[in-house]
Amino acid sequence: MSDIALSRPVSLAIARGNGKRSLRIVQSLCILVIALVMISPLFMLLIASLKDDRFRILADMGSFRAFWVSDPTLSNYKEIAHFSGELAYGRYLFNSLVILAATVVSGLIVNSMAGFVLAWGSLRGKAALLALVVALYVIPQESIIMPLVVMMSRAGLTDTFAVQILPWVASPLYVFLFYQFFAQLPKELYEAAEMDGASVFRIYRSIYMPLSLPALATVSILMGIESWNQYLWPTLVTQTDYARPIAVAIATFFGQDSIYWDRAMAASVLMMIPVLILYLAFQRWFVSSFVGSAVKG
């Protein structure tokens, strides 16, 4: 065999190796650019919260100076970290945490029970009920918000914590997510527990709930973010600071006469921390749940 014939496969292998290396470099650069685009607003928010001059923050926006602070200070955080008075954002943050915890905990119980009954219960018309649950999901929340306001007002729940928790505990989306997860578990598991004499509630509590950590994590994060970011609903049903969440309170920085960018940025950073902690706490199961759903199609 000639030298030219031997060197051709080697040249092709080298060319393929160089091509794969170039592709990896391009992919890494694309990922880096996407990551920078996604992180830059958060980084700008953090930097702006460390500046004590709201006019300077406004002037720096739109330039690279928005990503740099020469004399960082925590004065903005100190100004708003109070539980009483005009800038009682500690109180608003506490209100949001109470609403978040109560909504997520009660939502996990209610939605998982409904999903379990739809998956393994012996209800008549279960298929029609499941179709109704899915159909309810496509109805925009804003279309039913005014009747809800009237109902809550007639029930005397306006300006309370309950009015910001009760309407959002049950959700068609989360019922369907739990139903989908429970329905994928082996039928033999339910039948074996039933033959051992376990009640339906005990099967749900002792067998299915411990196995549903990915679903619990996914619903906890999605429900927590939804509850935390509520703005329209608390604006309509709260009139005082008693139960007002921080998402509504931040809007008070944007007045008709002036905008307090420095305090708004600090309050936004504080608002971001609890949902990040929630995500980090359930990250492993949250990611595995999404990966599993993608693999199953």
**What is the per-residue pLDDT for 297?**
45
**At 81, phi and psi to the nearest 5?**
-85, 65
Encode pLDDT of 29-71 as tens digits.
999 999 999 899 889 989 999 988 888 888 888 788 888 888 8
Tokens coding 155: 């029930």
Buried b (16+ CB within 10 A) or exposed e, 53-74: ebeebeebeeeeebeebeeeee
Reply yes or no on whether the pLDDT at 288 is more than 50: yes
According to DSSP, the residues that pair with 88 across neighbouring strands are: 81
Considering the entire predicted model, what is its pTM? 0.78
Write down the mean pLDDT value for the chain.
Answer: 84
SS (HEC) of the chain: CCHHHHHHHHHHHHHHHHHHHHHHHHHHHHHHHHHHHHHHHHHHHHHHHCCCCHHHHHHHCCCHHHHCCCCCCCHHHHHHECCCCCCEHHHHHHHHHHHHHHHHHHHHHHHHHHHHHHHHCCCCCHHHHHHHHHHHHCCCHHHHHHHHHHHHHHCCCCCCCHHHHHHHCCCHHHHHHHHHHHHHCCHHHHHHHHHCCCCHHHHHHHHHHHHCHHHHHHHHHHHHHHHHCCCHHHHHHCCCCCCCCHHHHHHHHECCCCECHHHHHHHHHHHHHHHHHHHHHHHHHHHHHHHHHHHHC
Q: For the residues 63-84, what does the mean pLDDT come to?
A: 83
Encode pLDDT of 106-164 as tens digits.
999 999 999 999 998 888 888 888 888 888 888 887 888 889 999 999 999 999 999 99
Is domain 81-252 in CATH 2.160.10.10, yes or no? no
Q: Which amino acid appears at position 93 of this protein?
A: L
Is the model more confident about 284 or about 25? 25
Encode pLDDT of 223-246 as tens digits.
988 998 888 899 999 888 888 898
According to DSSP, the residues that pair with 259 across neighbouring strands are: 254
Residue boundaries of the structural domains of the chain: 19-80, 81-252
Share above pLDDT 70 across residues of the chain, in percent, rounded to a whole number: 91
**What is the per-residue pLDDT for 186?**
86
